[in-house]
Amino acid sequence: MTDWIKRLLFAFLVGTFGVLINLTPLGLELEEDLGLPRLFQLRGAAPAPPDVMVVAIDKASAVQLNLPVVPGLWPRDVHAHLIENLSEAGAKVIAFDLRFDTPGKVPEYDVALAKAINNAGNVVIVERLDREDSPLPAEQGGGAHFGSMVKSAALLPIIADAAAAQATFPLPRTSRINDYWAFKTDAGEAPTLPVVALQLFALDAYEDFARLLRDANPSLALRLPDRNSIAVENLILTLRGIFTDEPQLAQQMITALNRDARLDQQSRRLIRSMVSLYSGDEARYLNFYGPPRTVRTIPYYQALRSHHGSGTGGPTENDFKGKAVFVGFSAATQPEQDRIRDDYHTVFSRSDGLYLSGVEIAATAFANLLEDRPLRLLPPPLNLAIVFLWGFAIAIVVAALPQPTNITLGTVFVLLGLGFVSIYVYIAHHQFTNAGNWLPLIVPLLQVPVAVFGAVSLKYYDVKREREILKKAFAKFVPQRVVTEILKSTGPITTNNRLVHGACLATDADRYTTLSEEMNPAQLGLLMNDYYATMFEPVSRHEGAVSDVVGDAMLAIWTTSSGDESSLRKKACLACLDIADALERFNAIKGRPPLYTRIGLHSGEMLLGAVGALHHFEYRAVGDIVNTANRIQGLNKYLGTRLLVSEQVIEGLDDFLTRSVGRFLLAGRTTFIRVAELMGRKQEASSEQTWLAEIFTDAMLAYEAQEWNRGCYNFAEILKAFPDDGPARFYLKRCQHYRETPPVGPWDACIRMEGK
């Protein structure tokens, strides 16, 4: 089994390890219990939208108003006065997280409250659900689900008749609240308080919403009521049914919304929120803004007095204008909270024990819906793909590192592991903070130590096995002392070779096979000797070394251990140009068959050392650089060129005139490479060559930008001046093809070469 096959298998196992954990209930449990709190901690508190606020029934208000702390004991005429104040101040929606399901002690106060609610016309009252929760496993991408037995408790009829709508807002009594129901499935898809509040809040955009629905699907729009005959709860159930029955409708609505230029920004925002609301899941994760009272909270007594504009620094009427106001119990301190248990443990629970109140969670859910910024678990296939590819990638990287046989390399492994952790955490944090996307966190982080320790263990096993092979193989042609030194050295068994930076030049001649058939061996031998002598001289003059000669192909290398790569690459480029000039003179000699030669040049790391088996070894260059140089040389056949180099060869070199001929995925490679034609020395270039390089560059920009007409024009102009220009002919055909048959899917200018 080759090293790469072992690495791929190891990487596959690490990726699969993460996938298997993610597929079990343990995976979601780890992410909810450990990953989600870490992401919220990394993000920190975020500003809540200004459209929502909480009026808090708290101890300070009870003291100021000389009322009991328990909200249920407050006289209902106080709430009537609050509603009147909020309505006069222009509150858009008033949502009461207080239950009015029994008559008050003073019937006249119930009448006053009902009158205030009716006059306001925008009040939502919460109704109670008596239930027993039984949590069910949640599916990734589908939100959380809870089974329950539900018994509804009707509101006081006089209050229920006056309210614009009534809604439930049950929360699961789990160890920590992460989610809520938007629609209560076991109560007939009943909308919850945040949903009803949002629909009331968005009524101003209802006619535009209905118009877009008619544009998208006229038959469905017939099911909608007129603006003046809306019953909010019935409207919500109707819209929920429409979007549930027609899953494609949401995208159709968004498309129509994006095309409609008549809508203002606020209407667009509300319509987008409504589409997401009705097409989304029944249960949704809460995107908390921060600790208790992060959503703007005003004590009840201040809201009650804001009407008078006391000038004491409290709220004014303008503070409530156009807002969704949620009214309910919200303690300012933990002891106060202990007296009235309407609090829930969340990721932002304070260290002193103060939890978020139910009314603030309702306001948070409303704000999430309004902003269309809930937490979104990725779709299960994408979630699993990320986990697998992440594990696969880190395993490939760590498996490719040398064996950590000393403290330095061991430290590198540890630092690399920490680096992988940091990179992934940053990506997850960025997605969470900026897009509300909840990427898996804990499982990918678990894959890092699994990959690192697994790779180290495998490398130790390989080293032990390879040292035995080394001892037997080298004993045949290396003194025992050398074998002993190799065995004592750190690193893999190839440390007797030299890993160096360098440039590799590969050549190949046209018609060699034909000539070998037409000429007798003696004549062919003389011809090839002259041919190689012509090429060897420039290599030697520019301090290169011929590494290999096979048939009509030559491999030359330039190496350095000092790190002065630019000088080395310059010498290799000069040798290429001199070889091309020398071969032009060689082919001009009469009576001698011409050998038109293709040249490819690449730079990078290579291994110099003994290569062979049994009793025959050769000292030569080994590595991807050699294969790539040969592939670049072969690319000349397709582009009609003679001298191609990778762009990393000419990076930082200003002495040469070049033109980029594109990005290519060469045969046998998994990553693309940028290739350029080496046209000559810059100081010797003619004006025609300079023009060619410039207009070709502009034509390539047009090709990469999918501007097919401009590309066709520029490449055609080049061919008028240079009829034999191979790259222009190559790209003209591609532009003409794509102009007639545009590429499907995301555009990638990289060209995949199947042949060598």
pLDDT in tens, 555-610: 999 987 766 788 899 999 999 999 999 999 999 988 888 889 999 999 988 887 76
With CA atoms as reference, report the closest residue to 490 among 406, 414, 413, 408: 406
Q: Please indicate whether residue 660 or residue 514 has the higher confidence score (pLDDT).
A: 660
Looking at residue 136, what is its pLDDT? Answer: 52
pLDDT tens per residue, range 692-738: 999 999 999 999 999 999 999 999 999 999 999 999 999 999 999 99
- Quickly count: other Cβ atoms within 10 Å of residue 92's Cβ: 20
**CATH topology classification for 497-653:** Alpha-Beta Plaits (3.30.70)
Which of the four pLDDT bands, split at 50, 70 and 90, describes residue 492? Answer: very low
Contact 551, 507 (CB under 8 A): no
User: Coil, helix or strand for 683?
Assistant: helix
Q: Please indicate whether residue 468 or residue 29 has the higher confidence score (pLDDT).
A: 29
Looking at residue 491, what is its pLDDT? Answer: 47
Contact 256, 271 (CB under 8 A): no
Mean pLDDT, residues 16-22 taken together: 92
Mean pLDDT, residues 36-54 taken together: 93
Contact 677, 692 (CB under 8 A): no
The amino acid that residue 204 corresponds to is D
The C-alpha atoms of residue 27 and residue 440 are separated, in whole angstroms, by 9
With CA atoms as reference, report the closest residue to 679 among 703, 713, 655, 648: 655
* DSSP symbols for 65-131: HT--SSGGGS-HHHHHHHHHHHHHTT-SEEEE-S---S--SSHHHHHHHHHHHHHH--EEEE-EEEE
Looking at residue 523, what is its pLDDT? Answer: 86
Taking CA atoms, 375 is separated from 4, 121, 380, 459, in Å, by 40, 32, 15, 41
The C-alpha atoms of residue 718 and residue 703 are separated, in whole angstroms, by 14
Looking at residue 495, what is its pLDDT? Answer: 45
Looking at residue 351, what is its pLDDT? Answer: 83
Site of tokens 């762009």 = 647
Q: Where are the alpha helices (DSSP H) in 441-593?
A: 442-474, 480-488, 512-518, 521-541, 565-588
Q: Percentage of the chain with pLDDT > 90?
A: 56
Domain boundaries, the chain: 3-26+379-474, 45-376, 497-653, 684-756
φ and ψ at residue 84, rounded to 5 degrees? -60, -45
pLDDT tens per residue, range 249-270: 999 999 989 998 889 999 999 9
- Which tokens in the block code for residue 674? 């940028």
Radius of gyration of the chain (CA): 37
Looking at residue 402, what is its pLDDT? Answer: 72
Looking at residue 420, what is its pLDDT? Answer: 85
Mean pLDDT, residues 178-184 taken together: 91
Mean pLDDT, residues 38-44 taken together: 92
pLDDT tens per residue, range 294-310: 999 999 999 998 754 44
Mean pLDDT, residues 154-181 taken together: 88
Which of the four pLDDT bands, split at 50, 70 and 90, describes residue 483? Answer: very low
User: Mean pLDDT score of the chain, rounded to an integer?
Assistant: 86
Looking at residue 479, what is its pLDDT? Answer: 37
The answer on pLDDT for 755 being more than 80 is no
Mean pLDDT, residues 730-748 taken together: 92
Looking at residue 490, what is its pLDDT? Answer: 47
The answer on pLDDT for 474 being more than 50 is no
The b/e string for 410-420 (b: 16+ C-beta within 10 A; e otherwise) is eeebeebbeeb
Of 449-458, 615-624, 651-660, where does the model show the most confidence? 651-660
Mean pLDDT, residues 39-63 taken together: 93
Q: Which pairing describes strands 297-299 and 145-153: parallel, antiparallel, or unpaired? A: unpaired
Looking at residue 580, what is its pLDDT? Answer: 94
The C-alpha atoms of residue 294 and residue 303 are separated, in whole angstroms, by 18
Q: Please indicate whether residue 490 or residue 204 has the higher confidence score (pLDDT).
A: 204
Looking at residue 710, what is its pLDDT? Answer: 94
The C-alpha atoms of residue 102 and residue 156 are separated, in whole angstroms, by 6
Looking at residue 619, what is its pLDDT? Answer: 63
Q: Which pairing describes strands 643-646 and 673-681: parallel, antiparallel, or unpaired? A: antiparallel
Q: Worst-scoring range by mean pLDDT, 145-154, 573-582, 674-683, 709-718?
A: 145-154
- Which tokens in the block code for residue 233? 């709860």
The amino acid that residue 543 corresponds to is E
Looking at residue 134, what is its pLDDT? Answer: 54
Looking at residue 473, what is its pLDDT? Answer: 55
With CA atoms as reference, report the closest residue to 629 among 611, 610, 648: 648
Q: Please indicate whether residue 752 or residue 476 has the higher confidence score (pLDDT).
A: 752
Site of tokens 């109704």 = 127
pLDDT tens per residue, range 96-144: 999 898 898 899 999 999 999 999 999 999 988 765 555 555 554 455 5
Query: Max Cα separation, the chain?
Result: 123
With CA atoms as reference, report the closest residue to 215 among 262, 182, 169: 262
Looking at residue 290, what is its pLDDT? Answer: 93
Mean pLDDT, residues 414-419 taken together: 81
